[in-house]
Amino acid sequence: MQQRLSPMPPSMIGAARARQGTCGVLMGLMIGTAVVFGGTAALAAERLVPIVTTPKPSLQMEARKPAAASLGALSSDRLTGLVLPGVSSGDLSALSQSSDANSLREGARLLWGELGLEGDGGDTTEHAPSQSVAFPTISGVPEVSTGSAALALTRFTSLSGPVATGAIESASDGDDAIYLEKGAATIDGLVEARTPGIIRAQSGVILTRPLVIWPGASLQLSEGEALYLSREDGAYLLAFGEMSVDGATIASTTSHNPRVSHFAPFVAVAGQGVFRSNHARFVGLGAVSDRDAGQADSMSGLSISAGLLYRPDQTSRILNSRFDDVHLVAVSGVQDTVVSGNDFAGQYAGGLKVEDSPRALVSGNRMTTPGLYAAMHLRNLSEAHIERNTIASAKGKGILIDGFSRSLTIDGNVVASAAGAGIELRGTTCSELTSNLVLASGGNGIELSRTGDVEARRNVALFNGAAGVAMSDQLPGSKLALASNLIGRNREGVRGAGLSDLTLKGNRLPNQMPRLLGGELGLNQSPWLAARKENQSFNFSNGTRQAASTACEGI
């Protein structure tokens, strides 16, 4: 049975601080609906079970409100009126309204089989970490000193990008930070060395000062350990060296900062820093009650940003971990990064952002009621794979891919009840969108705008508040292809405007009458129906039907 600990009053931090180096201080933490477990090995296995956090009913309704409003008075009928051979209408309705990502993914897996689609809709919930190189790579006796937090922040902003750090500096009582300058350190080792600003408590270790890991140094948190960052004292972690969190917990305390009310502890990695987590848990990082008063992205949860001049020798990976009430997980400029098998949930859950990271793998992540503009924002990616992620009740868009992204594989993702578009590609080219399931979005199910060559095959878009698939402002000379997609019971079937070259073949539109096609594409509904009746492809090119072409040859 999981142990539930009561919230810790701020006064207990002071009591623990007075007893530095001793045990016996009970500290509990609770943020939103997420519970922080103790640091004992006996509880480690319970901490690592699949996430079961369920949002409050009011938050679920808030997340669905835009989608229901766009469906209008027929929303109830739309969710039950779709007829598909071998599929229960009630099951489809329940799946569209799944309140958490785990049940949504399981329902999608069953639906995949019932629809007879390629693939099983399974989930990549476990991604094995690479064993080719031991990590951390740094060894030796750790060297610890006290240094300036402001100096470390200046170094951080020079590597990750200019952001205002005045509020971060003001949140701490003084400028002292713990400097880990060389060697390999553990949390237990820092406690045993009586490092100022690190306090032992019964359920883990409290950090009351900023901790900076410099190049040539590493910090390792191991199975069952718990590190609590004191919000009251303005604590946070900056890493320019190596950091490993394997089966451990990093959490914010629930106390408020008396100097900067919206301060929230965070973990930030920059420059040559390398971060790896596996079966870890992160709680309350970057989370504030006033979401508009939060910190910059690079200081608002967990962030990893590689410098242009000082790129790390190894890649960072975030695997099989849980993020409860974490405002944002952001990865920028990291080649070959892997973000796989993670859970995102909680009252203040934000989302995931990956940008400028060639050959990234973003797979098997599950997100429940993420609250940012886009639950998953992917920008300026190349040769990346976005596969089998599950997003339930996003308060904005589900998956947004923008910037200049190319050569992407977007496969097997499931998005239900997003307030905005389910999956949106903006400015993306030479990419494949296959076997994705989008249900009951408030906007378009799948949206393609200003795209180059894109091929969308075997996707399912049902019950969406606007078009099942919408395309606009296609780049001149590029090709779009929609083949073997299932598009039903949306406000419109397929909508197109500003198209250059589009090929339609083998798409099914059950219960989509009378709005099969919309926009300028709707003017060609009769010739499209004629080609469809003959089981032929239909090519739309500036209003003229031509021989069908293959989109994105060579992908």
Question: How many Cα atoms are found within 13 Å in the side-chain-facing hemisphere of 122?
Answer: 6
Look at residue 135 and tell me if it is in a domain.
Answer: no
Residues in the chain: 555
Mean per-residue pLDDT, 418-442: 95
Q: What is the mean pLDDT of residues 506-525?
A: 90
The lowest-confidence range among 36-40, 110-114, 413-417, 425-429 is 36-40
Same domain, 112 and 145: no
Between CA 359 and CA 330 the distance in angstroms is 16
Instruction: Give the pLDDT band (50/70/90) at residue 14.
Output: low
Beta-bridged to residue 211, according to DSSP, are 178, 237
Query: Residue 55 to residues 98, 389, 457, 484: CA-CA distances in angstroms?
Result: 12, 19, 33, 35
The pLDDT assigned to 162 comes to: 75
Same domain, residue pair 257 and 380: no
The residue with greater pLDDT, 59 or 441, is: 441
In the 8-state DSSP scheme, what is residue 165? -
Question: Cα–chain-centroid distance for residue 257?
Answer: 27
Residues 342 and 320 sit within 8 Å (Cβ to Cβ): yes
Asked if residue 267 belongs to a domain, the reply is yes
- Does residue 111 sit in the same domain as residue 147? no
242 and 209 part of one domain: yes
Give the rounded percent of residues in the chain with a pLDDT score beyond 90.
56
Q: Report the helix count and the strand count for the chain, using DSSP H and E.
A: 10, 46
DSSP annotation of 334: -
Six-digit token string for 526: 């009769």
Question: Does residue 484 sit within a domain?
Answer: yes
Q: What is the CATH number of the domain that holds 305?
A: 2.160.20.10
pLDDT grade for 405, boundaries at 50, 70 and 90: very high
Boundary (domain end) residue, out of 316, 334, 352: 334
| Residue with more model confidence, 158 or 218 | 218
Contact 220, 190 (CB under 8 A): no
* pLDDT range class, residue 128, cuts 50, 70, 90: low
Q: What is the pLDDT of residues 259-290, one digit of tens each?
A: 998 899 999 999 999 999 999 999 999 876 54
Least confident of 170-184, 257-271, 284-298, 508-522: 284-298
Domain annotation covers residue 2: no
The residue with greater pLDDT, 543 or 335, is 335
Quick one: 110 and 145 in the same domain?
A: no
- In this structure, are 528 and 478 located in the same domain? yes
Q: Write the CB contacts of 208 (distance below 8 Å, at least 6 apart in sequence).
A: 13, 17, 197, 198, 199, 230, 233, 235
Q: Give the domain range for residue 195.
A: 141-334
CA 500, CA 58: separation in Å to the nearest integer?
44
Q: Which two tokens stand for residue 33?
A: 């609906």
Residue 21 is given by DSSP the state: T
User: Could you tell me which residue, 551 or 376, shows the higher pLDDT?
Assistant: 376
Q: How confident is the model at residue 546 (pLDDT cuts 50, 70, 90)?
A: very low
In the predicted model, what is the mean pLDDT of the chain? Answer: 80
Predicted TM-score (pTM) of the model is 0.83
Residue 301 and residue 222: Cα distance in Å, rounded? 20
Q: Same structural domain for residues 172 and 276?
A: yes
Does one domain contain both 320 and 450? no
- Does residue 60 lie in a domain region? no
User: What does the buried/exposed string (b/e) look like for 375-402 if buried means 16 or more CB atoms within 10 Å of the residue's CB?
Assistant: bbbbbbbbebbbbbbbbbbbbbbbbbbb
Domains: count for the chain? 2
In this structure, what token pair is assigned to residue 35? 């519970």
Greater confidence, 120 or 545? 120
Residue 293 CB partners (closer than 8 Å, separation 6+): 261, 262
User: For residues 283 and 325, is the Cβ–Cβ distance under 8 A?
Assistant: yes
| Same-domain pairing of 309 and 425 | no
pLDDT at 435 over 90: yes
The answer to the question of residue 409 being in a domain is yes
pLDDT digits (tens, 9 = 90+) for 31-75: 333 333 333 333 323 323 333 333 323 322 223 333 333 333 334
- What pLDDT does 112 receive? 72
Confidence of residue 5 (pLDDT cuts 50, 70, 90): very low
| Strand, helix or coil for residue 72 | helix
Mean pLDDT confidence for 201-208: 91
pLDDT attached to residue 16: 53
Residue 387 token pair: 């596969």
Whole-Å CA distances, 245 to 98, 248, 352, 535: 31, 6, 19, 55
Count of alpha carbons within 13 angstroms of residue 206, beta-carbon side:
33
* Residue 46 counted as domain residue: no
Give a yes or no: residue 554 inside a domain.
no
The pLDDT score that the predictor gives to residue 262 is 87
Same structural domain, 298 and 433 = no
* Strand residue runs (E) in 95-203: 143-148, 176-186, 198-201
pLDDT of residue 117: 62
When pLDDT is averaged across residues 456-464 and rounded to a whole number, the result is 94
Question: Mapping DSSP to helix (H, G, I), strand (E, B) and coil, where does residue 245 land?
Answer: strand
Residues 283-309, mean pLDDT to the nearest whole number: 75
- Do residues 220 and 272 both lie within one domain? yes
**Same domain as 320, residue 279:** yes
Residue 24, both tokens: 């016996």
